[in-house]
Amino acid sequence: MLNLATLLEESARMYPDKTAIVFDQIRLTYRQVNAMANQLANGLVKAGIRKGDKICVCCPNLPYFPIIVFGILKAGAVVVPLNVLLKHREFAYHISDSESVAFICFQGTEQLPVLKEGYAGWQEAKTCPHLWVIPTIPGADSPIEGVPTFMELLHNQPDTFDTVATRADDTCLIIYTSGTTGRPKGAELTHSNMTINPMITCQMGRSTKDDVLLVVLPLFHSFGFSCQMLSGIYTGATLVLQPRFDAAAILRAFEDEGITLFSGVPTMYWDLLNYPELDKFNIEKISKTLRLCNSGGAAMPVEVMKRFEEKFKVVILEGYGLSETSPVASFNRIDKPRKAGSIGLPIWGVEMKIVDHEDNEVPQGKTGEIVIRGHNIMKGYYKRDEANDEVFRTGWFHSGDIGYVDEEGYYYIVDRVKDMIIRGGFNVYPREVEEVLMTHPDISLAAVIGVPHEEYGEEVAAYVIPQTGAKISEADVIAWAKQEMAAYKYPRHVEIVKTLPLGPTGKILKTELRKMAAEKIAVAK
């Protein structure tokens, strides 16, 4: 038997009275978190949830999130975390595609109407019998008549539970990723994948129960889910949760909570450095406790890394991974020389190599596609046999990223095989954005690319051809897209054009669009 819930159960056994979760004025011990997860597991089983059932969870970084995740795992079910920024059509797709039988959704706020969109998506899916709401105000009644709350699920349930026996290769988590082709696909990750990866992460970071982690990376994303939540709970550390990135709140938590470990995407480090009132905080005090920072999700600009390390007297270690690799595949190490700009060395038990378009390994220093194999590789994309055949050809997982390896075995990423955009650490697949844009009655054709952005790394840009006779402005397209897509997906830059550059087969030449965008940016400067 191997159930990922063991990570919490062992820490609750070893450190029952140690603070596990900090959120604002709330402080929960490992004993309390485990007991509530047990109550949830009992409630789920009573509601008819069985081993292997999929349950969608949409919740920001609140104490509910780890309780829900471990309650689902204890019941032997599969966690399907969803982005809180999704719109109703996206919720409907994820619920249906994952074949989820239950959906636990945070109510949200006027500014972040999670339940409004989630409820509409749940209704549209028509395939998921159960919905439970997490009210914005703890203990409040459900905002939707007839829909029970999360607390009702726990009410009067025993705080002990006999965790359902699962095998190491059973699926415990389905994380949706845009991958390299088509609509978002669910990466099936096993109990083994998600147990071993955080353990290795902790070993590389020399993490202990005395660490205090600031968790601002969204827990519905593989980076935050594994490298912060699972890793922290495995060691018995304290997790300080932040529901969204706010530079002042992060710096205040650094100072007040004695944060020792921080993980973020490059834009977070950029924002902290450029916060106008940075020097009002006690940087010397922060530097005495902050012992290590990690970066991933996008390439870390070397100048940002240097400036942050100088300011806070801390080392930033950069790594690499994908949802499909649980997520960590390579990392710079504390005990080995760090190379700025490198994604480091493959982690223990994982192999990486660089191959050409015919899957032949290329010499050191030559670019090609990064392929990976090891204990961290997913079972496959859920219900995507054709995509699995492609991505696992030759027995190695094909990452879709272009890189090279140097003479000392350090890996570097230089480009992407496909057209993936990484905006602030979130993957945006252009085809998905294009398909939504072309549902607009006045848009005939759309092409989406990523353009350089100082803060987010890349920004989403769209070239749009209107329908014949239609009159539509760039501002109109942006405003409409904002209502139809998650906030990290919709294009901030739109250009209305009469034609798009096409190749001999009629394929849109995005390389030409990137040249056009680069020339425009150069002129603007």
Task: Yes or no: say if 205 and 334 are a contact pair by the CB < 8 Å rule.
Answer: yes
Backbone angles phi, psi at 443, to 5 degrees: -110, 125
288: exposed, middle or buried (C-beta count within 10 Å: 0-12, 13-18, 19+)?
Answer: exposed
pLDDT at 221: 92
Identify the band that residue 503 occupies on the pLDDT scale cut at 50, 70 and 90. low
- Kindly indicate the confidence band of residue 522, based on its pLDDT and cuts at 50, 70 and 90: low
Mean pLDDT, to the nearest integer, of 431-453?
87
Percent of the chain with pLDDT over 90: 78
Predicted pLDDT at 421 = 87
Per-residue pLDDT at 444: 81
pLDDT, average across residues 132-144: 95
Spatial distance between the Cα atoms of 338 and 344, rounded to a whole number of angstroms: 7
Dig out the tokens for 502 from the structure. 């096409």
**Closest to 347 in 3D by CA, of 368, 377, 323:** 377
At residue 178, the pLDDT reads: 63
Q: Is the dihedral of CA 232, 234, 237, 243 positive or negative?
A: positive
Q: Strands 350-355 and 368-374: what pairing? A: antiparallel
- The dihedrals phi and psi of 171, each to the nearest 5 degrees, come to -70, 130
pLDDT band at 506 (very low <50, low <70, confident <90, very high): very low
How far apart (Å, rounded) are the C-alpha atoms in residues 465 and 502? 13
pLDDT at 180: 44
Supply the DSSP symbol for 143: S
Asked whether the bond before 16 is cis by omega within 30 degrees of 0, the reply is: no
The distance of Cα 95 from the centroid of its chain, to the nearest Å, equals 18
Please state which of the four CATH numbers 3.20.20.70, 3.30.300.30, 3.90.110.10, 3.90.1150.10 is assigned to the domain occupying 421-524: 3.30.300.30
Would you say residue 220 has pLDDT above 60? Answer: yes
By mean pLDDT, which of 150-164, 290-304, 369-383, 416-430 is the weakest? 416-430
- Look at residue 504 in the predicted model and tell me its pLDDT: 45
Residue 224 has pLDDT above 70, yes or no: yes
* Range from 53-57, 131-135, 437-441, 476-480 carrying the lowest mean pLDDT: 437-441
23-53 burial, b at 16+ Cβ within 10 Å, e below that, comes to beeeebbbbbbbbbbbbbbbbbbeeebeeeb
Report pLDDT for 42: 98
Asked whether the predicted pLDDT for residue 325 surpasses 70, the reply is yes
Where helices occur in 258-344 by DSSP H, the ranges are 266-273, 283-289, 302-312
Identify the CA nearest to 308 among candidates 337, 287, 323: 287
The predicted structure's pLDDT at residue 511? 80
pLDDT at 431: 74
Neighbours of 471 (CB within 10 A): 9
Q: Which two tokens stand for residue 442?
A: 């006045």
Please give the structure tokens belonging to residue 484.
Answer: 């139809």
What CA–CA distance (Å, rounded) separates 72 from 62? 16
What's residue 201's pLDDT?
95
Q: What is the pLDDT of residue 418?
A: 67
Q: What is the C-alpha separation between 153 and 512, in angstroms, rounded? A: 54
At 248-305, the pLDDT tens digits run 999 999 999 999 999 998 888 988 998 999 999 999 999 999 999 999 877 777 788 8
Angle, vertex CA 459, rays to CA 439 and CA 249, nearest 5: 115
The arithmetic mean of pLDDT across residues 481-488, rounded, is 94
**pLDDT higher for 390 or 429?**
390
Helices (H), 337-468: 385-391, 430-437
- Within 10 angstroms of residue 514's Cβ, the number of other Cβ atoms is 16
Average pLDDT on 231-251 reads: 97
Q: Is the pLDDT of residue 179 over 60?
A: no
Please give the sequence-ordered ranges of beta strands (E in DSSP) within 149-282, or none if there are none. 171-177, 185-190, 212-215, 238-241, 261-264
Asked if 402 and 415 touch (Cβ cutoff 8 Å), the reply is: yes
Residue 35 has pLDDT above 60, yes or no: yes
Mean confidence (pLDDT) of the chain = 93
Kindly report the CATH class assigned to 6-14+29-166.
alpha beta
- Pick from 187-191, 306-310, 311-315, 515-519: least confident: 515-519
How far apart are alpha carbons 263 and 215 in whole angstroms? 7
- Tokens standing for residue 289: 């406790």
Beta bridge partners of 238: 212
H or E stretch at 444 = strand 443-453
49-79 residue pLDDT tens: 999 999 999 999 999 999 999 999 999 999 9
Domain boundaries, the chain: 6-14+29-166, 421-524
Please determine whether the domains at 6-14+29-166 and 421-524 fall in the same fold group of CATH: no
Q: Is the pLDDT reported for residue 507 higher than 80?
A: no
CA atoms within 13 A on the CB side of 195: 22
Q: In terms of C-beta distances under 8 Å and separation of at least 24 residues, what long-range contacts does 283-286 make, across chains too? A: 283/311, 283/312, 285/255, 286/251, 286/254, 286/255, 286/259, 286/312
